[in-house]
């Protein structure tokens, strides 16, 4: 059973250096066209298009088509969900081990 | 290897013997007293069969929010040093269905013990291309991006 395919897509999208750089380029609400990104990363347009498609499928960027120009901007929802998942377990175990320590020391719990 | 997995790890020195620390994982009445992220979130142990192949089911009561059910089964139990169990959050939680895995390692450390809890397979890797060092980078990057809270629109 696997009900969070989006989370897999998000991490898949983030597991590539070029795509991470592209996300950085789009940070702070900036909008960039596929052409601008291609020039910036000195990659062939099909390569850039492929990376943008992966980011789009993961819900990390959204595409606006204006005539022949495809503009991209960042959406934060997907990133936040992935961040919460990791942070949630980090916080869970840190909190739990604190409580374990208190329990073993015979201190007051709750 | 953590290179191709998303995981989190907690390491803590405790002033008690490995046997005592192990017992805190092995008995339902003890588990209920500490295995929650904060004292406000209480745990009801619904099912607890602490043996290899045995399963557990925990209900977490979160104040002013829905109860979260976590379930799994024990694949390795080696007193007093190692426990491995699966960890799956049940629907309707936003993170339901991800079959993650927790490894607990307890080693003797002079007068006390060192406890290492490693929570991995937080993201299914079988469905994803392998990318050396990519996962670590991805998680670091994500943490960094989210730290820029409010600095980009969405």
Query: What is the model's pLDDT at position B121?
Result: 74
- Name the domain count of chain A: 1
**Is residue A110 in some structural domain?**
no
**C-alpha to C-alpha distance for B92 and A88, rounded to whole angstroms:** 16
Please report the residues numbered 106 through 135 in chain B whose beta carbons come closer than 8 angstroms to any beta carbon of chain A.
Answer: 115, 117, 119, 122-124, 127-129, 131, 134-135
Query: What is the model's pLDDT at position B150?
Result: 44
* Residues in chain A with pLDDT values less than 70: 1-6, 107-110
- ipTM confidence score: 0.72
Q: What is the pLDDT along chain B (154 residues), one digit of tens a residue?
A: 333 346 778 888 998 899 999 999 999 999 999 998 888 889 999 999 999 999 999 999 988 888 999 999 999 999 999 999 999 989 888 777 778 889 999 999 988 999 999 888 776 543 333 333 344 445 555 555 555 544 433 3
**Is residue A54 in some structural domain?**
yes
Angstroms from A68 CA to nearest CA on chain B: 24
**Is residue A10 in some structural domain?**
yes
**C-alpha to C-alpha distance for A71 and A17, rounded to whole angstroms:** 21
Q: Residue A87's domain is classified under what CATH number? A: 1.10.10.10
Q: Which domains does chain B possess? A: 8-147 (3.30.530.20)
**C-alpha to C-alpha distance for A3 and B117, rounded to whole angstroms:** 25
**C-alpha to C-alpha distance for A73 and B114, rounded to whole angstroms:** 46
Query: What is the model's pLDDT at position B47?
Result: 98
**Is residue A25 in some structural domain?**
yes
Strand residues in B25-154 grouped as ranges (E)? 42-48, 55-61, 68-78, 82-89, 100-109, 112-120
Please report the residues numbered 43 through 72 in chain B whose beta carbons come closer than 8 angstroms to any beta carbon of chain A.
Answer: none
Contacts of B36 in chain A (CB under 8 A): 95-96, 99
If you count them, how many residues does chain B have? Answer: 154
Q: Provide the residue range defining the domain that includes A39.
A: 5-105
């Amino acid at each position: 059973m696997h009900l969070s395919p989006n989370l897999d897509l998000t991490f898949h999208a983030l597991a590539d250096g070029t795509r991470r750089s592209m996300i950085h380029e789009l940070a702070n609400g900036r909008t960039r066209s596929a052409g601008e990104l291609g020039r910036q990363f000195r990659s062939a347009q099909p390569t850039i298009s492929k990376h943008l498609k992966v980011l789009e499928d993961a819900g990390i960027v959204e595409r606006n088509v204006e005539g022949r120009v495809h503009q991209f901007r960042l959406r934060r929802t997907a990133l936040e969900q992935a961040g919460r998942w990791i942070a949630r377990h980090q916080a869970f175990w840190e909190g739990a081990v604190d409580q374990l320590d208190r329990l073993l020391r015979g201190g007051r719990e709750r | 290897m953590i290179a191709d997995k998303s995981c989190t790890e907690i390491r803590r020195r405790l002033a008690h013997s490995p046997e005592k620390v192990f017992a805190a994982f092995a008995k339902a009445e003890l588990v209920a007293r500490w295995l929650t992220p904060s004292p406000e979130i209480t745990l009801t142990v619904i099912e607890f069969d602490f043996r290899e192949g045995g399963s557990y089911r925990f209900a977490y009561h979160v104040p002013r929010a829905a109860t979260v059910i976590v379930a799994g089964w024990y694949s390795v139990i080696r007193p007093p040093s190692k426990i491995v169990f699966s960890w799956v959050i049940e629907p309707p939680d936003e993170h339901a269905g991800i079959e993650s895995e927790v490894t607990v390692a307890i080693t003797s450390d002079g007068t006390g013990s060192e406890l290492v809890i490693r929570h991995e397979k937080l993201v299914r890797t079988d469905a994803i291309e392998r990318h050396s060092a990519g996962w670590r980078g991805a998680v670091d990057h994500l943490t960094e991006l989210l730290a820029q809270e409010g600095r980009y629109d969405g």
